[in-house]
């Protein structure tokens, strides 16, 4: 494909390596132009989904994910805390709603969900946050199909489980579980008819090929994940990746544009790492097809761009927060 050829907008789950590499390596402005064209075919380019994140169970995680400040393996200053109470979570969700969020994602530093009292409490959180009229998302580690059905029955709208990187590079980042485990959890949530949120992280020392392979793996899931978060590594002191330099804004734009072209109907989320991007670079990400962000002063344990800065950005670009699906479907 040469840079003048317009990429056809169709939903495909059979992308070949060469096709993905050709798209990823287009001259940047051609890539952005084509991604933007596809974005405008499927979405209102003036709308951005605003999601809020809350760590419902912080730190003390037995996994060894090299990027993560919540692993017990690393001395990062993140204190391990027990699972929050339902009331506290509902209060935080309703505050997030009042400040404009329409999706609420609850994260737990767990390797996997266990069938115990803590899981029952998370199910109750989901029921109550769902009653607020928010799209509820959770990221709790590995789940079985049976657990996924319980989450669905409680009203869970989406499950986040990132592939994080390519299958080849995965072993350099995490040794306590496999890529296959990740894919299996995604399949379990899909079988339970929960929408899938899956993406990854750039800036962990992976090659361009690793980035393209990760996007190809996501784009060859059938159906595509409804939501694809692209995170820039937040290099936290104490983790093995503490000295990684920040991701280039051009790389961010390239990842987002390629994700948009490969998965035209998915929400592409400009996730962690916005603190290291200028407002202008973020604008280019929206032009390239990003249509979702995490808002609020904190991600799970690290700082995020402030609400005031987000307001400035939305106002400068003429962007509007997207309504939750529930309201769209309401009569
Ligand atoms: N423990 C669960 C799991 O690993 O699936 C859920 C929580 S975990 C913190 C969710 C995701 O956050 C990870 O898969 C990773 O993509 C992202 N993440 C964690 N630490 C990060 C960091 N320092 N920079 C960027 N993304 C990060
Ligand atoms: C995702 O892809 N990124 C979010 C959310 N899904 C769970 C998490 C980002 C975490 C960044 C590091 C931290 O704040 O601890
Ligand atoms: Fe645990 Fe998730 Fe962090 Fe890995 S990414 S250490 S599984 S909280």
149: domain CATH number is 3.20.20.70
**Distance separating the N- and C-terminal Cα atoms of the chain:** 45
Please report, in tens digits, the pLDDT of each residue of the chain (331 residues total). Answer: 444 555 566 899 999 999 999 999 999 999 999 999 999 999 999 999 999 999 999 999 999 999 999 999 999 999 999 999 999 999 999 999 998 899 999 999 999 999 999 999 999 999 999 999 999 999 999 999 999 999 999 999 999 999 999 999 999 999 999 999 999 999 999 999 999 999 999 999 999 999 999 999 999 999 999 999 999 999 999 999 999 999 999 999 999 999 999 999 999 999 999 999 999 999 999 999 999 999 999 999 999 999 999 999 999 999 999 887 655 544 3
Does residue 63 lie within any of the structural domains? yes
Does residue 154 lie within any of the structural domains? yes
Task: Residue count of the chain, please give it.
Answer: 331
Distance between Cα 209 and ligand 3 center (Å): 24
203: left (phi over 0), alpha (psi -120 to 50) or beta: left
What pLDDT, on a 0 to 100 scale, did the predictor assign at position 331? 39
Note if the bond before 223 is cis, omega within 30 degrees.
Answer: yes
What pLDDT, on a 0 to 100 scale, did the predictor assign at position 6? 55
The range of the structural domain enclosing residue 230 comes to 48-319
Asked about 51 being catalytic, the answer comes back as no
Residue in 139, 52, 153 with CA at minimum distance from that of residue 103: 52
Greatest extent of the chain over all pairs of C-alpha atoms, in Å: 57
Distance between Cα 61 and ligand 3 center (Å): 6
Does residue 120 lie within any of the structural domains? yes
What pLDDT, on a 0 to 100 scale, did the predictor assign at position 324? 72
pTM for the whole structure: 0.95
Which atom of ligand 3 lies closest to the CA of 107?
8
Does residue 10 lie within any of the structural domains? no
Beta-ladder partners of 197: 160, 227
Count of the separate structural domains present in the chain? 1
Which atom of ligand 2 lies closest to the CA of 300?
14
């Amino acid at each position: 494909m040469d840079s003048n050829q317009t990429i056809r907008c169709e939903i495909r789950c059979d992308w070949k390596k060469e096709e993905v590499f050709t798209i990823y390596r287009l001259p940047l402005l051609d890539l952005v132009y084509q991604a933007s064209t596809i974005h405008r075919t499927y979405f209102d380019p003036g709308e951005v989904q605003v999601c809020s994140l809350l760590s419902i169970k912080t730190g003390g995680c037995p996994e060894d994910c090299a990027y993560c400040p919540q692993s017990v393996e690393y001395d990062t200053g993140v204190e391990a805390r027990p699972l929050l109470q339902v009331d506290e979570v509902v209060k935080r969700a309703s505050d997030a709603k009042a400040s404009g969020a329409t999706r609420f994602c609850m994260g737990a530093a767990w390797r996997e969900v266990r069938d115990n009292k803590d899981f029952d409490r998370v199910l109750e959180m989901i029921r109550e946050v769902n009653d607020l009229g928010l799209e509820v998302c959770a990221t709790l580690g590995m789940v079985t199909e049976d657990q996924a059905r319980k989450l669905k029955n409680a009203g869970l709208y989406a499950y986040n489980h990132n592939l994080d990187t390519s299958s080849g590079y995965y072993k350099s980042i995490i040794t306590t579980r496999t890529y296959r485990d990740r894919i299996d959890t995604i399949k379990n949530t899909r079988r339970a008819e929960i929408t899938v949120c899956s993406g990854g992280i750039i800036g962990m020392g992976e090659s361009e090929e690793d980035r393209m392979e990760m996007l190809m793996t996501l784009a060859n899931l059938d159906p595509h994940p409804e939501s694809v978060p692209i995170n820039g590594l937040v290099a936290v002191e104490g983790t093995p990746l503490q000295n990684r330099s920040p991701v280039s804004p051009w790389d961010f734009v390239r990842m987002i544009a390629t994700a948009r072209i490969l998965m035209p109907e998915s929400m592409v989320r400009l996730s962690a790492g916005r603190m290291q991007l200028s407002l202008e670079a973020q604008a280019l990400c929206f032009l390239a097809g990003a249509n979702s962000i995490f808002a609020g002063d904190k991600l799970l344990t690290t700082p995020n761009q402030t609400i005031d800065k987000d307001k400035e950005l939305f106002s400068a670009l003429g962007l509007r927060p997207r309504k939750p699906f529930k309201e769209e479907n309401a009569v």
